[in-house]
């Protein structure tokens, strides 16, 4: 039996601002559904990913910006950095480590992400 991770909830303070931010950096908008005045569900997926993020109203009681350590993996760290910069997000310089090359960013609420490129996968 497989156990697949397919959705991670992010706590945000402004649903529209979060939706616009993630769309701007290239996440695909899968769902934006208002269930009631107390519940709204937005699901977005990074290109090529089998796992999505969701945020909205009435989905979690976690503090906005409290998620740390989210990570996506790319095949070209420089292109990923350029894409973030073009979207107005400053990921800093590429951080080269023995286990991969990284750039980092946070969403408008402060939920923190790393973008990893693993050069040894190219072989």
Digit-coded pLDDT (tens) for 42-55 = 999 999 999 999 99
Confidence of residue 122 (pLDDT cuts 50, 70, 90): low
Q: Which residues of 59-73 are buried (b: 16+ CB within 10 A; e: fewer)?
A: bbeeebbebeebeeb
pTM of the model: 0.94
Mean pLDDT of 7-36: 98
Residues 6+ apart with CB under 8 A from 67: 8, 10, 11, 111, 112
71-118 per-position pLDDT tens digit: 999 999 999 999 999 999 999 999 999 999 999 999 999 999 999 999
Domains of the chain: 7-122 (3.10.180.10)
Task: State the DSSP H helix or E strand holding residue 117, giving kind and residue range, or none if neither.
Answer: strand 112-117
Are 87 and 23 a contacting pair, CB within 8 Å?
no
Helix (H, G, I), strand (E, B) or coil at 70: strand
What does pLDDT average to over the chain? 96
């Amino acid at each position: 039996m497989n156990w697949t991770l397919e959705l991670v909830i992010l706590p945000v303070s402004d649903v529209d601002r979060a939706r616009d931010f993630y769309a701007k950096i290239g996440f695909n908008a899968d769902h934006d559904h208002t269930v009631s005045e107390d519940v709204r569900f937005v699901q977005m997926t990074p290109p090529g990913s089998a796992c999505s993020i969701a945020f909205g109203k009435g989905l979690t009681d976690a503090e906005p910006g409290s998620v740390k350590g989210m990570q996506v993996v790319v095949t070209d760290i420089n292109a990923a950095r350029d894409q973030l910069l073009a979207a107005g997000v400053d990921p800093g310089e590429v951080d080269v480590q023995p286990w991969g090359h990284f750039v980092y960013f946070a969403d408008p609420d402060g939920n923190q992400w790393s973008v990893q490129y693993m050069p040894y996968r190219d072989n």
